[in-house]
């Protein structure tokens, strides 16, 4: 019999339904302080940062321990790494949702010409 099964093939198994899984919780990678990324050739000093990318009220640029620029929230002194790319500065502020999970509010600052 096994010869006939090999000759004519086995019965095709019915396709299984994909397992239903809950979507994984999306988390943003935390950049260690000092890993701000600046991809704008016009930015060479803190004055350039303030002129081209003025921050919203309650935030300011400061120098981290290793000399890298970071954004500091005046309210509580929390430091944020940032990204400047394609004429836009972005940084993420973490907050806790009502259900206890961490979410992020992204702040975007568009480049201003002098």
Q: Which helix (H) or strand (E) holds 67?
A: none
Distance CA 8, CA 18 (A): 29
What stretches of the chain show up as alpha helix (H) in DSSP?
Answer: 2-8, 46-52
- pLDDT of 5 reads 67
Whole-Å CA distances, 13 to 16, 17, 39, 91:
8, 12, 54, 51
Question: Both ends of the chain: CA-CA distance in Å?
Answer: 85
Under DSSP, is residue 47 helix (H, G, I), strand (E, B) or coil?
helix
Query: What is the residue-level pLDDT of the chain in tens, covering all 114 positions?
Result: 566 666 666 666 666 776 665 544 433 444 444 578 888 888 888 888 999 999 999 999 988 777 788 899 999 999 998 999 989 999 999 999 999 999 999 999 999 986
């Amino acid at each position: 019999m096994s010869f006939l099964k090999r000759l004519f093939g086995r019965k095709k198994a019915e396709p299984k339904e994909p397992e239903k899984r809950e979507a994984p919780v999306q988390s943003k990678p935390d950049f260690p302080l000092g890993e701000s990324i600046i991809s704008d050739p016009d930015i060479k000093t803190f004055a350039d940062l303030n002129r081209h990318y003025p921050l919203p009220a309650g935030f300011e640029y400061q120098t981290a321990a290793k000399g890298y620029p970071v954004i500091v929230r005046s309210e509580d002194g929390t430091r944020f790494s940032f990204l400047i790319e394609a004429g836009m500065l972005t940084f993420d502020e973490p907050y806790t949702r009502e259900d206890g999970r961490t979410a992020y509010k992204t702040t975007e600052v568009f480049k201003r010409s002098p």
